[in-house]
Chain A
Amino acid sequence: MTILKISGLDKSYGPVHAVKDLHLEIKKGQVFGILGPNGSGKTTTLAMILGVVSMDKGSYSWFGQSPNPVNQQKIGSMLESPNFYPYLNLIENLKIISHIKRIPEAEVFRVLKVVGLLERQRSKFQTLSLGMKQRLALASVLLGDPEVLVLDEPANGLDPEGIAEVREIIRQEAEKGKTIIMASHILVEVEKVCSHVAILRKGGLITTSEVGSLLKTDVMMILSSDSTNELHQFLKTYEGITSMEKEGVRFKVVLKENVSPGDLNKILVEKGIALNQMEIHKQSLEEQFLELVKQDDMEGGQR
């Protein structure tokens, strides 16, 4: 079941083209990461699909329907910084949201417990640390147990312990079968919790894919041998790799999708090239992201 479908979304702020012809489809149960550097259009995209920023072109639908307040209440969202009344305490702030979402006030205490702020329930919002404010925002997202969570930089301002807690909460919600849409530039976090990812750059979509397949596509190996010249000659002609870089006596190669490190090793043994170093390095999302961005820059340059 499609939860969110974005078709040709486009937005400009004066001369700045913030989002360019964006197409995305997010299915039920996916933990969907929207990645991109600052200014890539992540927040603008979320603001448009949450109805607070108008779009210049395109359309989007939630649950297969045009956006409407009833569907909006099935979505728990936080956008950019936490927005609460500084002079109200945590309970008072969350009670206002519970009225907006038409849910019982008792829910307030449940979500405060989930995010570990029950003890600070009577503290004014303005007295909280940035990390606590972020947790409160997460509590407001969880109010009413929504089907979809939209989180913009949920780990922002959190210490490592807080980041791990937020990650755990996201995992628990995902295990309940909820759809989670998460914009972030902390790639390690996205890699840890997301099932799918879209990478944005300068308002445009570079790629969208399952996190697993994005990471699987390229395996990098670091090789060295006493027969450096033979190894170099072989790698120059070998068709099973996409790239090769010589770093002193070591070679950094990226294997093609259909070639495994074992295949390469077997051929090298057959050729009589004995390796004294073979490191298999699966590219992290961060490396993959940087690679894609670099590639996009080069293609942009060629265009």
Chain B
Amino acid sequence: MKRLFRIEWGKTWNYNVFKILGIIYVISFLISIIILPLIQLKTNMSAETDMLDIKSFYTFPVIWDTYAYLAGKSNMFLAIIVIFLIGNEFSYRTFRQHVIDGMTRDELLFGKLMVIGVIALANTILIFILGWIFGLIYSTGYTFHDTISSISILGIYFIQAVAYMIMALFLTIWLRNKTLSMVVLLMYSLILEPIIRLIVKKYVWVKLGLFFPVKVTTKMTPIPENGLIEFIKSNAEINGFGDSLPLYLNIFLAIAYSLFFFFLARWIMLKRDL
């Protein structure tokens, strides 16, 4: 375990693209959590007040849901980092060299799984720290119970981030090409799966679309339970995307998909020439 960590650390931490993407990710997240509370969102939710106070989503305990939701929206970025890290191993032929030097193919895969775990964990810790800082700044009149009552969403976010990155791991092991993997991931997530979901929803079973991997994963960090949820939900329902499975089922399915994609990647890894 320690050996695998040292191997992966040596090649990941010194990779400038990883550092740059990581910094961009953290800065974007910081901007989103600092700028958003400062703006007032115009809504048509209420007849009495047509202004939604975004700041309310950055107070305890809703802040955890808000941060997990925002971080969840950025998982594609993490997946792209994973595609870069694994794609490099194929383009530099270092996976092949590692096997020649005495690593097993399982070790290659577990090393990358470890990187995924560390990225997800680091991100979860980042949200945890920022949540405390900004929660304390924006919240007033809260109890200790308020501060931690929905902190468990961070655990769910961790599973979600891992699930997303495992999907990227599978694609890169399968396609062995960074650009192609990125294109396929974006096309599938943003175009293909939504179209398939619409088709199966219309012609097969109305709920079937909710069981698809990207849908399941994105629905793990739901829209924060506050006025915002009503606002977004109302828009979503207009667009016909309002449904979602119970959270526990989403979590279960996300873990199941992660295991499926991981073992599929392992099967490909063991079977193919390097």
Question: Interface on A for B, CB 8 Å cutoff?
Answer: 47, 50-54, 69, 72-73, 77-79, 81, 83-88, 92, 95-97, 99-102, 140
Contact = CB atoms under 8 A, between A and B. Distances in A.
A83 B103 contact: no
Interface in B244-274: 273-274
Contacts of A83: 92-94, 96-97
Contact of A52 (B10, B15, B16, B99): B99
A99 B100 contact: no
B39 to A, nearest CB: 40
B92 A52 contact: no
Contacts, number: 69
B88 interface: yes
B65 to A, nearest CB: 39
B14 A79 contact: no
8 residue pairs, one from A and one from B, having the closest CB atoms: A73-B102, A83-B97, A83-B93, A72-B102, A52-B274, A53-B273, A100-B101, A96-B10
A87 B102 contact: no
B145 interface: no
Contacts of B88: 85
B93 A99 contact: no
Contacts of B103: 69, 100
B268 to A, nearest CB: 13
Given A83-B92, A85-B92, A86-B92, A77 B10 contact: no
B96 A69 contact: no
Contact of B11 (A50, A51, A72, A88): A88
B101 A92 contact: no
A77 B100 contact: yes
A99 to B, nearest CB: 5
Given A51-B99, A97-B101, 12 more contacts: A50-B99, A52-B273, A53-B273, A69-B104, A73-B102, A81-B93, A83-B92, A83-B93, A83-B94, A88-B11, A92-B10, A99-B7
A50 B100 contact: yes
Interface in B5-38: 6-7, 10-11, 14-16
Contacts of A81: 93
Nearest to A44: B273
B98 interface: yes
